[in-house]
Amino acid sequence: MPALTTISLAALIQTFFRQHLIAVRGVSPHTLHAYRDAIRGLLKFAATRHQCSVVELALDHIGRDTVLAFLDHLEQQRGNAAVTRNARLAAIHSLYRFMAAEDPAALGVCHQVVAIPFKRVSARTITCPPRTDIEHLLTTIDRSSILGRRDVALLQFLYNTGARAQETVDVRLPAVRFEAPAQVRLFGKGRKERLCPLWPETTELLRAMLKDRKVPLTEDVPLFLNVAGHPLTRFGLRHIVQMRIAAATTSRPTLAETCISPHSFRHATALHLLQSGVELNVVRTWLGHASIETTHAYIEIDMEMKRAAIAACEPPGVGSSLPTWRDPDLITWLEAL
């Protein structure tokens, strides 16, 4: 028998998105869309499983057994990795914790779903291009064209700030301070704000790019645009990086051996700052890591730092050895987010 909840399932889900995620938590559009896709997928799967329309779903229809079957479906039929499964489950956990707080009648079902554990996944090894590859990439871009000046400014900005892709495309011109001390205001995960210093070379490249666009430094416009003059997207950013990497591969074939994405620049920034002697907590603030443990992971991939540590610990005189929905309201509403 369906759960006798005091609030309809559709109302709970809409309130979760409108009030909890947007108004209270202030999540980014990227996070909002990820949550939307997870919940929409669960609703459609549950409707198929119970042979009803989504509008007929009650909370009991999407209890623990259905959620577990949905997670298995993601891995076995959709071919999703455990990491993707865990991301979908995190969104589902958030929704069910919210529903339990909003409607005590739903507490039993919600508690069982929230108790579903994440799958253990092996830690991914962080890889990043060496400093020489970054420098080579920047020097191979033809700066005699407007697009070339934009791209070198964009890639230099990525390397200077270590900004995430979404943070980069979200930057607007007023967030950049060109006078000393030059800096940029970035908004990271959870809309957390941080200030990141800019190198003189970066500000000069940005000035040249904006001069091409004939944009005053006081104008409130996106910092980076695509070739059509529209705000750059994460997908456009990835395309630019891939295009420039492919062009640089002709003169440095080893670039083809490493998968370099916009996020690779973030890894390179962290590692190269540490190699330059910047204190770990400063790097954490620079990148906007919530925990210093995240920043500490970069030490693990720096073999040069490991070798130096081993050499420092050797005794004196010892040589170094380096070892389908009938009521369109909810689904249509979710898709419009």
DSSP state string for 117-146:
PPPP-PPPPP----HHHHHHHHHHS-TTSH
Question: Which one is catalytic: 44, 131, 172, 189?
Answer: 189
324 falls within a domain: no
Question: Which one is catalytic: 35, 96, 159, 298?
Answer: 298
For the whole prediction, is pTM greater than 0.75? no
Segment 167-183 mean pLDDT: 95
Burial grade of 234 (CB within 10 A; 0-12, 13-18, 19 or more): middle
Confidence of residue 325 (pLDDT cuts 50, 70, 90): low
Domain containing 189 equals: 131-262
Both 98 and 25 in one domain: the answer is yes
Signed CA dihedral, 299, 301, 304, 307: sign only:
positive
Segment 124-144 mean pLDDT: 85
The answer to whether 306 is a known catalytic residue is no
**Residue finishing a domain among 228, 262, 296:** 262
The answer to whether 85 is a known catalytic residue is no
Segment 24-29 mean pLDDT: 82
Position with higher pLDDT, 94 vs 314: 94
Percentage of the chain exceeding pLDDT 70: 84
Domains identified in the chain, total number: 2
The answer to whether 214 is a known catalytic residue is no
Checking if the pLDDT of 76 tops 70, the result is yes
The answer to whether 30 is a known catalytic residue is no
In the prediction, which pLDDT does 323 show? 42
314 falls within a domain: no
Question: Which one is catalytic: 266, 267, 272, 284?
Answer: 266
CA distances from 153 to 34, 105, 134, 161, 204 (A): 30, 55, 13, 12, 9
- Decide: 193 and 185 in contact? Cβ < 8 Å: yes
Specify the CATH number for the domain of residue 187: 1.10.443.10
The answer to whether 289 is a known catalytic residue is yes
Q: What crossing angle do the helices spanning 146-161 and 262-275 adopt, rounded to 10°?
A: 50
Q: What angle do CA 187, 189, 191 make, to 5 degrees?
A: 45
In the prediction, which pLDDT does 1 show? 43
Confidence of residue 332 (pLDDT cuts 50, 70, 90): confident
In the prediction, which pLDDT does 301 show? 59
In the prediction, which pLDDT does 14 show? 93
